[in-house]
Structure 1
Amino acid sequence: MQLQDISSRLIQSISVGICIVEAETGVIISQNDTFGTWFDTAVTGQVLDIGLAVAFGELPGRKPVEVRTKVKRRTLVIELSAHEALHNGTRLIVVEGQNISRLRETEAMIDSYSDMVDRRTRELEREKTQVEKLLLNIMPRSVYEEYMTFGSVAPRLFEPVSVLMLDFVDFTRMAAAGDPNVTVAELNDIFTAFDRISELHGCERIKTVGDCYMAVTGLPHPTSDHAVSAARAAAKMIRYLKRRNQTHEHTWTARIGIATGSVVGSVVGVQKYIYDVFGPAVNMAARLQAQSEPMEITICASMRDSVLDEFDISPARVVPLRGFGETEIAQMSEPGVNRRVA
């Protein structure tokens, strides 16, 4: 059949695959080399391969479809489209194919890169969250925000505050005599409970050093009831240890000292940095803790009036404290709890 309106040479030279099929019989009337290279079963004079026929079916009026074919061990993606034509009263279907393999490969690379970027973004978000949790474990949130904003933290004077210092009795002996894994696991459980108690009463846990636990009230935000808050937290820590000792094999006893005064807070270190506080109240709390008997809370005299309404306070006694000289101290306990009387 002669197709006067189509140049055979033009069809053979273009990179688009062309296949002309008689609509009624499905016989291939003409195709160019490009189409034949893609589909070796498409032969002029033969019925169009059933696989291709199914692929585009009644393509006229439909959207293009994609088919995959293998050419020299390489899989190509061919986009097929078709439209009807009429020649000398014969209805024809002209099938056009375009090799979109590179386009799909590029899209796949872009999708892969996008997935990689999304995955990396999620990983960075997780790392950021972990870093934030870690930093919030060693510094107050306001200090963390200042550090993230400016890259440094200016030392600040906080006054007045109350410093709670807790230390366990015979911890060194316990750690040496028992299984270190068990000892550390129990210490971690206890400190976790102390953190909850501190948070409940507005105490900011500053650090733990071995078996020593230090928290401060009135920092970073000033509060008028800092002494009472520290006293409540200390009493609840002692109460927690007593209850715990009733159900656990190992007995944990602690000494607590609470002092009011001023402290300076700042981030210390460059590579391995921590948030720490320094000042008279910190030193006083450490000295008072050393004056306590096991499961006892010792306070400075300036705290008496603040906590007298909620706790029993022993008569004040004067003791020499290193760095402070002769100092008035007292023991504090919850009402009805036995305490040492000077």
Structure 2
Amino acid sequence: MSDLVRRAHTALFEHTSDGVLVLDLQYRLVEANAAAQRLLGESGDALRGRPISELLPQWTPPEPLSPEEPPREGEWVWHGTEKSPRHAHVLRVSCVPLPEGRVLVLRDMTAQAEVEASLRQQKEYYESLVLHSPVAMVTVNLRFNVVSWNPAAERLFGYTVREAKGRNLLRLVAGEGPIREEAEATARDALERGRVQLLTRRLRKDGTPIDVELLALPVMVEGERVGFIAIYHDLTELRRLHEQEVAHLRTIQSERERADQLLLNILPKPVADRLKNGQRIIVENFPDVTVLFADLVDFTRFAAQHSPPDVLQVLNMVFSIFDQLTDELGVEKVKTIGDAYMAVGGLSLPRSDHAEAMANLALAMRAEVLKLGDQLQIPLHLRIGLHSGPVTAGVISGKKFAYDLWGDTVNTASRMESHGVVDGIHLSEAVYERLRGRFRFQDQGLVPVKGKGPMRTWLLLGAQ
């Protein structure tokens, strides 16, 4: 052996990162390099002459080896020596036979073992995730042949793992025709861009279509793309749930509108809006409005002669007409009291011509009731009273909401109705002064009014 080769062997012995132990035929230590001394935690002088069974008690020497045989290798967990206790290490031991003894090469595989364990753990985690995923997950190679097919894919597409594995994914779930053409275009797009996400349609084994969200992600090994994982979210169930949610929201909206309409049946819209916004105490003074009371004449006798459903039907028809008229004329219904109807102009919807609007309402109410009576062939007649002036308006809230008006104007309007004539529209002087010149009247002179004394009043006959 040349000096160069001998020096190279010596340098390799001293500077290699693997521990090297030179043993005689009795497996006693002859020499240990620097790496072996660090691993065993003792100097070369302390190690020389000691049996290997003391230094590596867990290691069993192989059967006798001849120098012609290849090295014997094995891995085992080493916990150190008594003089150098340490955490468990994984050692790979190579035993090289020599004519005069043996050479042991010790390679610490702990870091590699930890990496391999981590990779195994990640692989098991991934496989568990795929196995138990509620969404279909399919792994394909670059030719789009199926490599893995999870249970969710079986449930979604109807193919078992045995039926799907190794087959072309596009042939499995895209069939022929437009769906297949789109699937092939998507596959080309995935190859070019590496990632694709879209809403599309695929086919089950039985040929039925399913709407899915497809996410195709590349599978990389050492920086090189080797395939794709295709994740399919079944949109059929999501769309069914969405449709249920939309129907539920429509029902809620319908019920809300119904509740709003019921509220509007007893409250003016501005007041109802304030209540819905959380305001609970509503009391206001209005300096000038016109109040109307309308009463069905002798309706008590009609009610006594007819069944309750018939009576209720007639009242509903009359008051529905009145409600429509108030909406058309821009005035407000306040409430119904038995067979009487109360309305007001210029309250929540301020207007300077409230008296004229209420006069038009009274004329229309009278005409419509007479027409309805002719249609139903029953006696339907009204007494109507009007008065203008200040009122207090507010909501009485308890278990039920009630909107009402208070004040002398309300009482006077009620007296105008009760002191009126059948099919007559009885006006106070306050209303007459506001309407004079635009309507025709009949002067009633001084009329003794209960609680008020003599008042000059008029009957409204019609427009000029």
Scaled by the length of structure 1, the TM-score of the pair is: 0.69
Amino acid at match of 1:332: L
Asked if the contact 1:257/1:286 (under 8 Å) is kept, the reply is: yes
CA, structure 1 residues 67+292, in 2 after alignment: closer, same or farther (shift >3 Å)? closer
Percent identical pairs in the alignment equals 24
Partner residue, 1:6: none
Candidates 244, 248, 251, aligned match of 2:379: 251
Candidates 332, 339, 343, aligned match of 1:215: 343
CA, structure 1 residues 247+130, in 2 after alignment: closer, same or farther (shift >3 Å)? closer
Asked if the contact 1:256/1:288 (under 8 Å) is kept, the reply is: yes
Give, in angstroms, the shift of residue 247 of structure 1.
Answer: 3.1
Cα distance in 2 for partners of 1:20, 1:217 equals 80
Candidates 175, 178, 201, aligned match of 2:303: 175
Amino acid at match of 2:347: L
Cα distance in 2 for partners of 1:193, 1:53 equals 63
Candidates 401, 405, 408, aligned match of 1:280: 408
How big is each residue's C-alpha offset from its partner over 1:102-157, in whole Å with a ceiling of 9 and x where there is no partner? Answer: x535x555444433433332222222222222222322222223223343242001
How big is each residue's C-alpha offset from its partner over 1:269-291, in whole Å with a ceiling of 9 and x where there is no partner? Answer: 23311222121111111222111
How big is each residue's C-alpha offset from its partner over 1:249-295, in whole Å with a ceiling of 9 and x where there is no partner? Answer: 11101111111222111111233112221211111112221111211
Candidates 194, 210, 219, aligned match of 2:322: 194
Partner residue, 1:327: 454
Give, in angstroms, the shift of residue 175 of structure 1.
Answer: 1.5
Q: Which runs of 5+ in 1 are unaligned?
A: 1-9, 22-27, 71-76, 82-94, 337-342
How big is each residue's C-alpha offset from its partner over 1:47-67, in whole Å with a ceiling of 9 and x where there is no partner? Answer: 99xx75984899674879956
Asked if the contact 2:389/2:430 (under 8 Å) is kept, the reply is: no
Asked if the contact 2:429/2:458 (under 8 Å) is kept, the reply is: no
Give, in angstroms, the shift of residue 168 of structure 1.
Answer: 0.9
How big is each residue's C-alpha offset from its partner over 1:222-266, in whole Å with a ceiling of 9 and x where there is no partner? Answer: 333222222222122222223333333111011111112221111
Cα distance in 2 for partners of 1:160, 1:18 equals 82
Partner residue, 2:91: none
Asked if the contact 1:298/1:329 (under 8 Å) is kept, the reply is: no
Scaled by the length of structure 2, the TM-score of the pair is: 0.53
Asked if the contact 1:143/1:153 (under 8 Å) is kept, the reply is: no
Give, in angstroms, the shift of residue 20 of structure 1.
Answer: 11
State which drifts further: 156-165 or 58-67. Answer: 58-67
Q: Report whether the alignment pairs 1:297 with 2:425.
A: yes
Cα distance in 2 for partners of 1:69, 1:98 equals 20
Partner residue, 2:434: 306
Asked if the contact 1:197/1:233 (under 8 Å) is kept, the reply is: yes
Structure 1 counterpart SS, 2:246: helix
Asked if the contact 1:158/1:264 (under 8 Å) is kept, the reply is: yes
Bigger relative contact order (CA 8 A; separation at least 6): 1
CA, structure 1 residues 277+40, in 2 after alignment: closer, same or farther (shift >3 Å)? same
Partner residue, 1:91: none
Q: Which runs of 5+ in 2 are unaligned?
A: 1-119, 128-137, 191-195, 207-211, 217-225
Give, in angstroms, the shift of residue 193 of structure 1.
Answer: 1.7
Give, in angstroms, the shift of residue 34 of structure 1.
Answer: 6.2
CA, structure 1 residues 20+153, in 2 after alignment: closer, same or farther (shift >3 Å)? closer
Give, in angstroms, the shift of residue 314 of structure 1.
Answer: 1.6
Structure 1 counterpart SS, 2:277: helix
Partner residue, 1:38: 160
CA, structure 1 residues 108+200, in 2 after alignment: closer, same or farther (shift >3 Å)? closer
Asked if the contact 1:296/1:331 (under 8 Å) is kept, the reply is: no
CA, structure 1 residues 104+257, in 2 after alignment: closer, same or farther (shift >3 Å)? same
State which drifts further: 51-60 or 185-194. Answer: 51-60
Partner residue, 1:161: 289
How big is each residue's C-alpha offset from its partner over 1:158-208, in whole Å with a ceiling of 9 and x where there is no partner? Answer: 121111001111212211211332332222222222223333333211111
Asked if the contact 1:263/1:280 (under 8 Å) is kept, the reply is: yes
Amino acid at match of 1:246: D
Amino acid at match of 1:104: H
Partner residue, 2:313: 185
Q: Report whether the alignment pairs 1:232 with 2:360.
A: yes
Asked if the contact 1:207/1:213 (under 8 Å) is kept, the reply is: yes
Asked if the contact 2:174/2:203 (under 8 Å) is kept, the reply is: no
* Larger of the two Rg values belongs to structure: 2
Amino acid at match of 1:181: P
State which drifts further: 117-126 or 273-282. Answer: 117-126
CA, structure 1 residues 292+33, in 2 after alignment: closer, same or farther (shift >3 Å)? closer
CA, structure 1 residues 146+20, in 2 after alignment: closer, same or farther (shift >3 Å)? closer
Partner residue, 1:73: none
Q: CA RMSD in A?
A: 4.3
CA, structure 1 residues 180+61, in 2 after alignment: closer, same or farther (shift >3 Å)? same
CA, structure 1 residues 140+52, in 2 after alignment: closer, same or farther (shift >3 Å)? closer
Cα distance in 1 for partners of 2:355, 2:173 equals 87
Aligned residues: 296
Cα distance in 1 for partners of 2:255, 2:332 equals 25
Cα distance in 2 for partners of 1:226, 1:120 equals 43
Amino acid at match of 2:441: D
Partner residue, 2:331: 203
